Amino acid sequence: MTGSSTQGIKTVLHPVSDLAAAKVVYAALLGVQPQNDASYYVGFEAAGQHIGLVPGGGPQGMTSPVAYWHVPDIEAKLTEVTAAGAAVKEPVRDVGGGRLSSAPASSRHP
């Protein structure tokens, strides 16, 4: 192992069918108003986590919540997990604000 640790799951994106209604519900649930509020995405920061609402699952076509692990060095972590047998579905890309992301890795082993 290279020792590149994780910082835990800090981002969870939720596909929603009605963005306006979901925004009201999540604001009540989290006790804060959204920090990002657009027609294509609403994002909340609460208790050290980022909760995002994505209408219709966004261009990714999400059908359920997607959790994102935060790591200090995404390239090093991808090298580590692929060496352990994972397959990366998408290359690293900038998702805005300097944040980098890659599609979840899945095991190549049964």
* Nearest-angstrom CA–CA distance, 94 and 51: 18
**Which of the two residues, 25 and 76, has the higher pLDDT score?**
25
How large a percentage of the chain has pLDDT more than 70?
86
Q: Using one digit for the tens of pLDDT, what is the confidence trace for 8-35?
A: 888 999 999 999 999 999 999 999 999 9
Helix (H, G, I), strand (E, B) or coil at 76: helix
Element (H, E) at 16: strand 9-16
The whole-number average pLDDT for the span 68-88 is 86
**Which of the two residues, 101 and 46, has the higher pLDDT score?**
46
Residue 94: pLDDT band with limits 50, 70, 90: confident
Element (H, E) at 23: helix 19-30
Does the structure show a pLDDT above 50 at 1?
A: no
* Nearest-angstrom CA–CA distance, 74 and 54: 23
